[in-house]
Amino acid sequence: MSTKRSYDVIHSEGGVPIKAWTRGVPIEEAAAKQLANVARMPFIHQWVAAMPDVHWGIGATVGSVIPTIGAIIPAAVGVDIGCGMMAVRTTLTASDLPESLRGVRAAIEAAVPHGRTSRGRDKGAWSTPPPAAAAAWAGLAPRFDAIIARHPAVGHSNHRTHLGTLGTGNHFIEVCLDESDRVWFLLHSGSRGVGNKIGRYFIELAKKDMRKWIVNLPDEDLAYLSEGTEHFTEYIEAVEWAQTFAMTNRRLMMDAITAAVGAVPGIPPFRAEMEAVNCHHNYVAREHHYGKDVLLTRKGAVRAREGDLGIIPGSMGARSYIVRGKGNPESFHSCSHGAGRAMSRAEAKRRFTLEDHAHATAGIECRKDADVLDETPGAYKSIDAVMEAQKDLVEVVHTLRQVVCVKG
């Protein structure tokens, strides 16, 4: 590994340093302030690491790595608990795909519930879960039942009917080609409605605890749960369960995608020929760093220990990458989770037109309507700049370009 430092050190008043892998990538003032707020929390171990895709989030920035001892910040983990990526390389090549990819996209959209409706049946959920999803839920149900026995409010969520479904916003399914024109399936999703419910519920519990103990915080969304308390123990159990749900959710969708594409007329029989990559990028884990056992929160960051395979997606019209971790200890063995937003969703809808979006996604079979303008490529930072800024964190194994993109 190169000994030349590739990050900048930002010193926060009254807090630990911030090591930021953001050279050549813009970082907005609001995000810098959030990083400083987190750095001032009294239980941070060593420093806070900011990834090159860092941008404003709730409480803590998206694109940050936060090591804590004796406490955890639920809002830093977030409400899309266990959100992450999954990728599979197939034996198909570009020449095996039909000239028009509309049928491929339609097959995937029919196989995986996605999106939402404002009233009536949620089209992003199962009305009756298929056998594979029902069997997977049977394995998850006992731990969930124990959680809701103590916290019944968490049970009022689309838990069973969201397992094996995509969601909305920046969640997506893609068919991609690598540098050798091999076909890959790629997807981005998490723990869906139940993870959201768990996250919001414990964020509010943490805020109530702070008010009860009269704890002054730089931001109320940095409310934390102290180790040894009942709420801390129960949050850890709930968040670990949600992370298992998310991993299972991605596996079920990938199975459905593979079967759906395999049934498209004209596509020859195929199989997955590389072990699937299935990684979280919104989660907390117990890890050992710089001589201490810590709770490491990666909010918009991927684990990148030496040899770890990870996925760093671009936007709807930009390249994505399969990467291998270099095990950089200063980033707490982490890398970015994507390109990172360059602006808010509202700003993207104001700034870009449908013509802009159509041009940016030319040659990709995807939605080109007003409801996805907030996901247009221009709303994101340059994936090229993001990858350049973290060359000492990961090496590129495969470069993928989309040919089909399904959005919720």
279 in helix, strand or coil? strand
Measured CA to CA, the distance from residue 346 to residue 373 in angstroms comes to 9
Angle at Cα 192 formed by Cα 226 and Cα 82, nearest 5°?
50
**Quick one: tokens of 204?**
């509010």
Q: How many CA atoms lie within 13 A of 377 on its CB side?
A: 22
- 337 labelled catalytic: yes
Residue tagged active-site, from 159, 337, 357, 398? 337
Measured CA to CA, the distance from residue 285 to residue 289 in angstroms comes to 12
CB of 209 closer than 8 Å to CB of 225: yes
Measured CA to CA, the distance from residue 77 to residue 75 in angstroms comes to 5
Residue whose C-alpha is closest to residue 308's, from 278, 284, 285? 278
**Quick one: tokens of 207?**
């805020």
CB of 300 closer than 8 Å to CB of 282: yes
Q: Which is it for the CA torsion 273, 399, 64, 49, positive or negative?
A: positive
- Residues annotated as catalytic (active site), given as ranges: 337
